[in-house]
Structure 1
Amino acid sequence: MSASFAEHGYLLIEDFVSEDWCDRLAQRAGELVAGFDADAHRTVFSTKTVAHAADRYFLESGDAIRFFLEEEAVDDAGRLNRPKELAINKIGHAMHDLDPVFSAFSRQPQLAALGGGLLRQPLLLQSMFIFKQPGIGGEVSWHQDSTYLYTEPMSCIGFWFALEDADSSNGGMLAMPGAHKGPLRKRFLRKAAGLTTETLDETPWPDGEVVELAARKGSLIVLHGLLPHYSSPNRSLRSRQAYTLHCIDGAAHYRDDNWLRRGSHLPLRGF
């Protein structure tokens, strides 16, 4: 398994978690959304406009549980054009530490064993519940996770759990096998003037194989932090819910200029 990960930059493990666990996470996410005041916070998350980068609500979400909206769920006046439970893009970014259901899921023994086999001192840094709403689920452009969660040396690994069937029809994931062996192209980081994206390497994405990572409910996709991956808009009538957990190695240096910060009241923990 580790050899395949080193060669391709990803793993697709079917039936890693039970359907019951998938349903429990979806139910808990629904409960959290029910308690969300959509009139108080209307931050839109989009990888195309990156407007959220200037929003304090997003900036200070590294040690909180916060809610971000789909771009097409908000009209020109900033009002929701549909019920909030159908307008949410994602919840983030410390669910794994602040919510007991997501914490228990994130620290399952089989996941701890997998993480421990890939990182020397795995620390759980970021978590997100992604809704990929029917009809309006936003595109996630080609990117590398280490752009957003940078360590020296680079150590970011993503664990992406399919809570519903995910394929090309509802915004499933695409990846470039082996392209994690190339450089980190960009960094999304804090500067004095705010968050910015800085180009590190002009090397274009490789003109090679692209694979669809179709994942049945309960599957886990493990992503190297340098692996380019993408998901298309969801124009179907069904959602594509997923839970993601990003880990870094405690033996690596997590730069202070990373966008995601944690307060001293919530230090990073492992599995």
Structure 2
Amino acid sequence: MHSTLLEELMENGFVVIEDFLTSEETEELYKAGRTLCMEAPKSDRIIFSTVNSEKQQSKESYFLESGNKVRYFFEEGAIGENGELLVDPMCALNKVGHALHVENDTFKKITFSNRIKEICWQLNYRKPAVCQSMYIYKHPGIGGEVIAHQDAWFLHTEPSTAIGFWFALEDTTLQNGCLQFIKGSHKSGVHRRFMRNPDVTDQEFLLYDRPAPIYPTSNFIPVTVKKGTCIIIHGQVVHKSDHNRSTKSRHAYTFHVIETDNTIYSEANWLQPPKDEPFPLLYERKD
């Protein structure tokens, strides 16, 4: 007997759906990601790093104000001391976010497709909204590590409802930084929070509420997938991706969904919708 989507997500903390995207859709998203590289700013380049976040985006209003915009974040190894590019512009970005699902028709089409709505329906969401989206590049050689984390650190709701949709636009391998999960780790609560600093006089806009948990490397299961695969990620499952040590990139598109019915979205989250622009809904159940 096959387990349902909800049962598998609640058991493991993630679900792998192969061939979710057609080859045409995968190529269309990939090309859109390449186009974003050409549209990246030529000056005032902002670096994104989960390893050195205290030095980088935590002080940047550019990051804080990206919830309803398309903004560009560069790899640490791509920018010199004076802001000059050290690599080919097509290989310089870490990611683009966080409103591609609203501002770019190619990403909007996939994000709000009936297939996505059907998955949320099967997971019993009543009034799901898309709160953020990102195109992630993971370029050869400089594609940075993403530290072990739970998405609920960043997208905290009461009760916890965040889920991620992650689409491989290229084959993922252990060498190019595939996703790695601690199966079942979503059952142990939220381990940490990444929050807006309540002290408005402090130069640090964002901070963690406690030290980083220690997750044994041996607990992680690498999940290598073919392009076109969708991975559904529970908001509390611990996952990471390593530095890209290969000669091949690992492009991906990802977005996050939260429940808005009888759910409180934390005012301390870094990502806040403008008062006149609530997170766009996928649907609203009336039954």
Q: 1:236-260 CA distances to partner (integer Å, 9 max, x unpaired)? A: 1110000001010012111111101
Structure 1, residues 159-218: CA drift from partner, whole Å, max 9, x if none? 100010012021111100001101211111112332111128x86547874211111100
Aligned counterparts, 1:182-221, within 5 A: 182-191=188-197, 192=200, 193=202, 194-199=205-210, 204-205=214-215, 209-221=219-231
Deviations 1:91-137 (A, max 9, x none): 00011011111111111111110022222321100100000011110
Distance in 2 (CA, whole Å) between partners of 1:179 and 1:226 is 7
Verify: 1:57 aligned to 2:62, yes or no: yes
Q: C-alpha distance in 2, partners of 1:198/1:179?
A: 20
SS at match of 1:141: strand
Report the alpha carbon displacement of residue 30 of structure 1 after superposing the two structures with TM: 1.9
Offset of residue 14 of structure 1: 0.5
- 1:183 and 1:267 map into 2 onto residues whose CA distance is 27
Partner of 1:156: 162
* Among 80, 84, 102, the residue aligned to 1:79: 84
5 Å-filtered alignment, 1:214-229, equals 214-229=224-239
**Quick one: which amino acid aligns to residue 38 of structure 2?**
A
CA distance in 2, matches of 1:161, 1:261: 24
**Paired residues of 2:67 and 2:273 also in contact (CA < 8 A):** yes
Q: Does 1:255 align with 2:266?
A: yes
Tell me the SS of whatever aligns to 1:91: strand
Match of 2:285 in 1: none
Distance 1:137 1:214 in 2: 17
Equivalent in the alignment of 1:66: 71
The one-letter code sitting in structure 2 at the alignment partner of 1:43 is: I
Letter matched to residue 223 of structure 2? L
Alignment of 1:13-162 (within 5 A): 13-39=17-43, 41-50=44-53, 51-118=56-123, 119-162=125-168
The amino acid of 1:48's aligned partner reads V
CA distance, structure 1, for counterparts of residue 18 and residue 208 of structure 2: 35
* Alpha-carbon separation, structure 2, partners of 1:33 and 1:204: 35
Which amino acid in the other structure matches residue 232 of structure 1? D
CA distance in 2, matches of 1:227, 1:197: 18
Secondary structure in 1 matching 2:143: coil
Letter in 2 for 1:56: S
Using the size of structure 2 for normalisation, the TM-score is 0.89
Q: TM-score, normalised by structure 1?
A: 0.95
Once residues 34 and 163 of structure 2 are traced to their aligned partners in structure 1, the CA distance between those partners, rounded to angstroms, is: 27
Quote the Cα distance in structure 2 between the aligned partners of 1:158 and 1:172.
16
Structure 1 residue matching 2:209: 3-state secondary structure: strand
- 1:38 Cα deviation after fit: 2.5
**SS of the residue 2:46 aligns to:** coil
Do the aligned partners of residues 137 and 267 (structure 1) sit closer, same or farther apart at CA in structure 2, a change above 3 Å counting? same
Letter of the structure 1 residue corresponding to residue 113 of structure 2: Q
- Residues 135 and 252 of structure 2 are in contact (CA less than 8 Å); yes or no, is this contact kept in structure 1? yes
Q: Could you list the runs of 5+ residues in structure 2 that have no partner in the other structure? A: 283-287
1:127-167 residue CA offsets vs partner (Å, 9 max, x unmatched): 00000011110000100000001111111100100010012
* Partner residue, 1:173: 179
Kindly, what percent of the aligned residue pairs are identical?
A: 36
CA distance in 1, matches of 2:146, 2:73: 14
